[in-house]
Structure 1
Amino acid sequence: MKIGIIGGGAVGLLFAGYLGQKFDVTLIVRRELQLQSLLMNGITVHKGGSSFTTRVDSDLLTEVSMKFDFVIVAVKEYDLKPLEKVLELMDKNQPLLFLQNGIGHLEWVESLPHHNLLAGSVEHGALKENDHVLHHLGVGKTNLALIKGEWGAVEELVSQSIPSFPFLLKQDFEEMLLTKLFVNVLINPLTALTRVRNGKLVENPHLHQLQRDLFQELLLLYPHMERNVSFEGVVEICNNTYENRSSMLKDIESERKTEIESILGVLLEKAQREHHFVPIMNVVYRLVKGIEREGLGG
């Protein structure tokens, strides 16, 4: 099975590193330097005290038709729009799997002309060291759900998945993404603002109370999610990923653009439309945006 993966960041490298052990994988990147690094070295994944290297094909992202059994889109949410022309040149029956955090991209994804669209929720932790090396820090699973169409070749991916890199099929893509969004809201922006690892959010009573307040504000926006997400479940994730540094914290430290718009910005828009009062969410959003702006040059 031929799999195309768009995006040479931590998630793209992680998926190519594992899936390339079993399938014919092409990692599609933007920069010539990364392309050459991948072709020369392959992808090295460090996990615990061991490591492995996977050889994959690699190519530059160009506006040409790419023929795969299915394509995984692993760029950040704010990098999706520039991909539109490339995606539209692909076979419309080719399944597209989107792995972005948040829900801000859903309307755009649903507007695409492709017949088979899927969403994924990644529970793994990964840290990119350079263009071909990454650290697999938190081992989890990848949840998949149909947005529209049929599973197609994705069923083969699930049935043949590597035990250490499992996939799980879900029935409701919105419920799946909202479950992940609850976790992201209670971890990512708070770690980014306070520069602490995930576990410290639970240990520090002041930060833990902020988590509780944010959880209640999320339930104001999505009361039906109370049966799917528990605050205790988020605490467990913080403890299980105690030493992990969230992707938003890493973005802030590297003075990169964050995913705050797709994680909190979209929720504040919903709150405004529906006249909900979410003061903690608003302050957290403004603080992250302010720090982000300073890091990007003001």
Structure 2
Amino acid sequence: MKIGIIGGGSVGLLCAYYLSLHHEVTVVTRRKEQAAAIQSGGVRLYKGGKEFSADCSADTSINIDFDLLVVTVKQHQLQSVFPLLERIGKTNILFLQNGMGHIHNLKDWHVEHSIYVGIVEHGAVRKSDTAVDHTGVGAIKWSAFDDAKPDRLNILHQHNRSEFPILYERDWYPLLTGKLIVNACINPLTALLQVKNGELLTTPAYLAFMKLVFQEACRILRLENETEAWERVRTVCGQTKDNRSSMLVDVIEGRQTEIDAIIGYLLKEARLHGLDAVHLEFLYGSIKALERNTNKVF
């Protein structure tokens, strides 16, 4: 299968390494320097103190026919990707983003492509333009969006690996909302408080506020099993207790966060259904303020 990976960040490089073991993979990057480095040296993966490498191609444009495109850029970068995808022939496109802000876009996106959405449960940190550290084994979970046919991606399951499982889920909504509720509870609070994930459990005031955020998000998403969802939030928080969330890292390094994809989606849904979301509004405004402050020159 010819697979194009759009985005050369941590998730893009992780997918490129594992998928290139069994498929013909091309990484589509924004910068010519990164594309040239991948084209000449492939992708390197670090895991368990060992280094691995895999050959794959790279380019800065989508100029060949792909059987599958995997879009791994961050949510706020999608607006520059959509026009590129509109100019190519009909194909299969899998979107792997944090949050659900892109769902509103996809519902209004009138193209002939077969659209799939998914989540990434792996831990990964990009070390360079060509190298990624696989810090935690999870899974890629995906589902067909609207009228897309899931059997078109069956080949992805034929080479499933224990360290990189690819799992099909029948319904995209619970798949994405399950991940969203975790991101909404952990990422903005850790970014605002400047703490590692585990402190949300060990500090009573932080835990109490996280529960309020959780309850608002559940009401907006209409989750059926809140007890199970809350246990998942606590479990993820505990399992990643020594980690800094991606949103905290973005704030520290002065990058745009994914607050619009996560909390922004919830606030838009709340407005559509006439629901109050005072705690989510507070978190959204606070992270937006941090984004503005990190861009100031003192």
Q: Normalising by structure 2, what TM-score?
A: 0.93
Asked whether 1:18 is paired with 2:47, we answer no
Aligned equivalent of 1:117, options 115, 118, 121: 115
- Which amino acid counterpart does residue 216 of structure 2 have in structure 1? E
- Which amino acid counterpart does residue 92 of structure 2 have in structure 1? P
Shift of 1:116: 1.2
Aligned counterparts of 1:225 and 1:126: Cα–Cα separation in 2: 31
Asked whether the equivalents of residues 144 and 150 of structure 2 are also in contact (C-alpha less than 8 Å), the reply is yes
- Which amino acid counterpart does residue 25 of structure 1 have in structure 2? V
Aligned counterparts of 2:6 and 2:224: Cα–Cα separation in 1: 31
Shift of 1:151: 2.4
Distance 1:84 1:228, change over 3 A: farther
Which residue is equivalent to 2:94? 97
Shift of 1:155: 0.9
Shift of 1:11: 0.9
Runs of 4+ aligned structure 1 residues displaced above 6 Å come to none
Shift of 1:70: 0.7
Q: Percent identity?
A: 36
Asked whether the equivalents of residues 218 and 226 of structure 2 are also in contact (C-alpha less than 8 Å), the reply is no
Alignment of 1:270-281 (within 5 A): 270-281=269-280
Shift of 1:227: 5.8
How many aligned residue pairs are there?
295
Aligned counterparts of 2:228 and 2:172: Cα–Cα separation in 1: 15
SS of 1:201's equivalent in the other structure is: helix
Asked whether the equivalents of residues 188 and 287 of structure 2 are also in contact (C-alpha less than 8 Å), the reply is yes
Which residue is equivalent to 1:85? 83
Which residue is equivalent to 1:259? 258
Alignment RMSD? 1.8
Residues 29-53 of structure 1 deviation map (CA, whole Å, 9 limit, x = unaligned): 0101111221233222222322212
Asked whether the equivalents of residues 257 and 296 of structure 1 are also in contact (C-alpha less than 8 Å), the reply is no
Which residue is equivalent to 1:2? 2
Asked whether 1:108 is paired with 2:112, we answer no
Which residue is equivalent to 1:28? 28
Which 5+ residue runs of structure 1 have no aligned equivalent? none
Aligned counterparts of 2:119 and 2:101: Cα–Cα separation in 1: 14
Deviates more, 1:16-25 or 1:177-186: 16-25
Which 5+ residue runs of structure 2 have no aligned equivalent? none
Shift of 1:244: 2.3
Asked whether the equivalents of residues 124 and 140 of structure 1 are also in contact (C-alpha less than 8 Å), the reply is yes
Asked whether the equivalents of residues 43 and 54 of structure 2 are also in contact (C-alpha less than 8 Å), the reply is yes
Aligned counterparts of 2:98 and 2:79: Cα–Cα separation in 1: 15
Distance 1:200 1:48, change over 3 A: farther
Asked whether the equivalents of residues 70 and 153 of structure 1 are also in contact (C-alpha less than 8 Å), the reply is no
Asked whether the equivalents of residues 121 and 143 of structure 1 are also in contact (C-alpha less than 8 Å), the reply is yes
SS of 2:150's equivalent in the other structure is: coil
Shift of 1:125: 1.4
- Which amino acid counterpart does residue 48 of structure 1 have in structure 2? G
Aligned counterparts of 2:121 and 2:197: Cα–Cα separation in 1: 14
Asked whether the equivalents of residues 141 and 168 of structure 2 are also in contact (C-alpha less than 8 Å), the reply is yes
Aligned counterparts of 2:80 and 2:227: Cα–Cα separation in 1: 34
Residues 205-247 of structure 1 deviation map (CA, whole Å, 9 limit, x = unaligned): 2221121111111122123343695211111111222222221
Shift of 1:277: 2.4
Asked whether the equivalents of residues 126 and 138 of structure 1 are also in contact (C-alpha less than 8 Å), the reply is yes
Residues 42-87 of structure 1 deviation map (CA, whole Å, 9 limit, x = unaligned): 22222232221222111112xx543111110111111112122221
Aligned counterparts of 1:130 and 1:196: Cα–Cα separation in 2: 25
SS of 1:265's equivalent in the other structure is: helix
Deviates more, 1:189-198 or 1:225-234: 225-234
Which residue is equivalent to 1:220? 219
Aligned counterparts of 2:188 and 2:223: Cα–Cα separation in 1: 24
SS of 1:113's equivalent in the other structure is: coil
Q: Normalising by structure 1, what TM-score?
A: 0.93
Which residue is equivalent to 1:207? 206
Asked whether the equivalents of residues 117 and 143 of structure 2 are also in contact (C-alpha less than 8 Å), the reply is yes
Aligned counterparts of 2:186 and 2:267: Cα–Cα separation in 1: 17
Aligned counterparts of 1:48 and 1:202: Cα–Cα separation in 2: 28
Aligned counterparts of 2:44 and 2:196: Cα–Cα separation in 1: 24
Shift of 1:152: 4.5
Asked whether 1:249 is paired with 2:259, we answer no
Distance 1:80 1:158, change over 3 A: same
Alignment of 1:57-68 (within 5 A): 57-61=57-61, 65-68=63-66
